[in-house]
Structure 1
Amino acid sequence: MSQLKNIRHLSFNELEQWFVETGDKKFRARQVWEWIWLKQAKSFDAMTNLSKDLRAKLAQHFTLPAITEDTTQYSNDGTVKSRFKTHDGHLIEGVLIPADERQTACVSSQIGCSLSCKFCATGFMNRKRNLDYDEIYDQVSLVNAQAIKQSGKKLTNIVFMGMGEPLLNYKNVLKAIERITSPDGMGMSPRRITVSTAGVAKMIKQLGDDEVRFKLALSLHAANDTKRHEIMPINDSNDIKSLIEALNYFYQKTGNEITLEYILFKDFNDSIKDADELIKLFRQIPADLVNIIEYNPIDLARFQKPEEAVVDKFMAYLAKNRVNARLRRSRGKDIDAACGQLANKDKELV
């Protein structure tokens, strides 16, 4: 028996064509399209304005694999972390981060990760597979439903900062953003979406060539190659010089906002000398902002967060040197939902 095709992997035109070829009305394609993207139907049986016969026919020809909520945790600060289950039984995590004016979804792009960053819980997992674009869309849709339920407000922002490296799942991430920003998807502005990368220079340039409209964040975390390689093995093949070149190319092609992400680790990258190296690097690229991130310790890593006085001194030095830097306090730490903590904690890391 041939494997059934995922109906959401058809374009609208292909869906229309299928209905015509199988002797049905062309307008049925619009009905089904709305069910699978706008109404987020989890099965063909849920498509109640179609006849039972037509629903059965769809089920004979297609699958509709959907991500479902597995468990949900609520932080004292309002953050919501969800563990989602894929159709083939894998687990991923996504986070809703509510603030006064913003409702942000932090979503995953891969099941696990292959980059092995030494400070990140996901980095200690193996990569099982890439997420399909419809699975990424499902995550966003489910977190959006949580935002509406919790605050009555839809998502305002999406950050690809969950599990996995988005640029190593390039096609699916771009296709997911295309669907999220489409008027017959979620209709969100691409300017409200940020894709974060550990630094894949070739694919950063590809984003420029593809003239994407979303924002880009680089997970830098050390401003010299020796230290960066120690904590981020990807730096071996994507050194800082190549990333500076790629980010300049990306900006030249798109004009899109670039942010640098820099986690402070105690006695590793938190000295004034480290700050000087960061300033020097900042001046070589058209970055709008440096996010200085509070570190969230994890069981498997040796790093700790610096003392508050050290953080204050680091921030003051950046300000004195006219670097636009913001200290980002972590949210959801009590439920392991903060930056670098997503790892399906109660599951074996294999």
Structure 2
Amino acid sequence: MKQDIRKYTPAQLTDWFKQNGEPAFRAKQVQEWIWKKSARSFGQMSNLSVALRDKLDTDFAINSLTVATEQRSNDGTIKSSFRLFDGNLVEGVLIPALRQDDQERDRTGAPVAPRMTACVSSQVGCSLTCKFCATGYMDRKRNLDAAEIYDQVVEIDRQAKTTFDAPLTNIVYMGMGEPLLNYKNVLESVDRITSPDGLGMSPKRITISTAGIAKMIRQLGDDGVKTNLALSLHAANDVKRDQIMPINESNSLANLADALGYFYRKTGTRVTFEYIVFYNFNDTLQDAKELWEFTKKVPAKINIIEYNPIAEASFKNTDPQTLDKFAGYLEDRGVTVSIRRSRGKDIDAACGQLAGKK
């Protein structure tokens, strides 16, 4: 099998051109075609000679993904099943801005700035077995490489421009898989997406979401990442969190709090806590109090997320009155709270529903 040219570093590619009697600047031209212009074939590289393009095609491949299926929700959300070069499938989602008459508003009633968001996957399957998440009921087959994550962004951006005449404004690593268990490739993909030699997106428009890998949260701090960080919390005491997120057994809330504090001191970036309020499980005022106490450990805001049903689990959303009391308790104590409306639930594209279905 030919080597994917996108796995070559600039230095390695420069060496290849020198060994083939070509000037070194050709490497930069090819890198620009690959990462800035998102070329899918060597034939597109029009500033290279036909002979050189043929030579590249003989020695290398561009293992880009393809869109296997596309589903469109009543609310405008688009879910894509992406087929990788080895036949595996992952899912990604375009979450468009709401219509003007249905614009999202925060808890004060103020309109939220419209976003065009790509939700991308980082692994084929997942190893963390969170009980409320469809991906958690799959086996983890492999990590995605940086180019495969990059390709999802390129395809979803194309969908946004084609369907809504608007480019992406935000990217969230909240699809299939645990990003921090694919640390190297996730950070390399961020670099490709944010670099002026790549897609040129601001890192502050990117959020990496984790179920809570304390060691790697600290590593994010050491590496000085400039992206946002979100923690899928869903319970602020260890007993309850152990029940729904087995990763908590080896990454306790105390360890996570220490790691998040370290991340904040290193980067100055406020953390977002994602919290699904499940009916009769984590929706009491005592749960809200525990969550409030946890937010004191590191500067944070809270996104309350609607639960999206999956066939494998029997959880239910809490009722609106309980949700209002829960959110009000936090707001009364100065916590920034947003309630996120589900998008794409009718096509299994909402948070927790991605499962790489054929």
What TM-score results when the alignment is normalised by the length of structure 2?
A: 0.93
- Which amino acid in 1 is paired with 2:247? I
Letter in 1 for 2:198: G
- Asked if 1:255 corresponds to 2:268, the answer is yes
Q: Which residue of 1 aligns with 2:49?
A: 51
1:104 maps to which of 78, 96, 117: 117
Report what 1:136 is aligned to: 149
Q: Deviations over 1:102-142 (max 9, x none)?
A: 11110000000000000000000000000000110000111
**Aligned pair partner of 2:280 in 254, 267, 275:** 267
Question: SS in structure 1 opposite 2:94?
Answer: strand
Q: Which of 300, 304, 317 is the matching residue for 1:305? A: 317
Aligned to 1:154: 167
Distance (whole Å) between structure 2 residues aligned to residue 46 and residue 88 of structure 1: 23
- Shift of residue 337, structure 1, vs aligned partner: 0.6
Letter in 1 for 2:324: D
4+ residue segments displaced more than 6 Å: none
Amino acid at match of 1:107: V
Identity %: 60
8, 29, 32: which is aligned to 2:6?
8
Q: Which residue of 2 aligns with 1:84?
A: 82
Matched residues in 2 for 1:23 and 1:204: separation?
A: 45
Q: State the partner residue of 1:207.
A: 220
Q: Distance in 1 between matches of 2:52 and 2:271?
A: 48
Equivalent residue of 1:206, what SS? helix
Residue 85 of structure 1 aligns with an amino acid whose one-letter code is R
- Per mean C-alpha deviation after superposition, the further-off stretch among 214-223 and 19-28 is 19-28
* Distance apart, 1:270 and its partner CA: 0.6
1:33 aligned counterpart, secondary structure: helix
Partner residue in 1 for 2:128: 115
Q: Deviations 1:263-305 (Å, cap 9, x if unpaired)?
A: 0111000111111111111111121x10011101111012111
Can you list the C-alpha shifts for 1:6-51, whole angstroms capped at 9, x where unaligned? Answer: 2111222332222122101333223322221122222223334433
Say whether 1:320 aligns with 2:332.
yes
Paired residue for 1:343?
355
Q: State the one-letter code of the partner of 2:317.
A: K
Distance between the aligned counterparts of 1:51 and 1:62, measured in 2?
Answer: 16
Equivalent-residue separation in structure 1 for 2:229 and 2:25 (angstroms): 39
Q: How many residues align?
A: 343
Letter of the 1:314 partner, please give it.
Answer: F
Deviation digits for residues 207-249 of structure 1, max 9, x if unmatched?
0011111110000000100000000000010000000000000
Partner Cα separation in structure 1 for residue 346 and residue 189 of structure 2: 30
Other-structure match for 2:253: 240
Could you tell me which residue of structure 2 aligns to residue 197 of structure 1? 210
Q: Which amino acid aligns with 1:44?
A: F
SS at match of 1:155: coil
Helix, strand or coil at the partner of 2:308: coil
Q: Distance in 1 between matches of 2:249 and 2:79?
A: 33
- Paired position in structure 2 for 1:216: 229
- SS of the residue aligned with 2:218? helix
Higher deviation after alignment, 308-317 or 136-145:
308-317
Distance in structure 2 (CA, Å) of the matches to 1:73 and 1:46: 29
Q: Which of 286, 300, 308 lines up with 1:296 in the alignment?
A: 308
C-alpha distance in structure 1 between counterparts of 2:197 and 2:332, whole Å:
47
Amino acid paired to 2:61: T
Structure 2 unaligned runs (5+)? Answer: 99-113
CA distance in 2: counterparts of 1:257 and 1:70, whole angstroms: 37
- Which shows bigger deviation, 320-329 or 118-127? 320-329
2: distance between equivalents of 1:277 and 1:230? 16
Which amino acid letter does the alignment assign opposite residue 305 of structure 1? N
Q: Residues of 1 paired with 2:22 and 2:297: CA distance?
A: 59
Amino acid across the alignment from 2:11: N
For structure 1, which runs of at least 5 residues remain unmatched after alignment? none
Whole-angstrom distance in 2 between the partners of 1:46 and 1:323: 51
Q: Distance in 1 between matches of 2:256 and 2:25?
A: 48
The amino acid across from 1:65 in the alignment is: N
Residue 136 of structure 1 aligns to a residue whose secondary structure is helix
The 3-state SS of whatever aligns with 2:12 is: helix
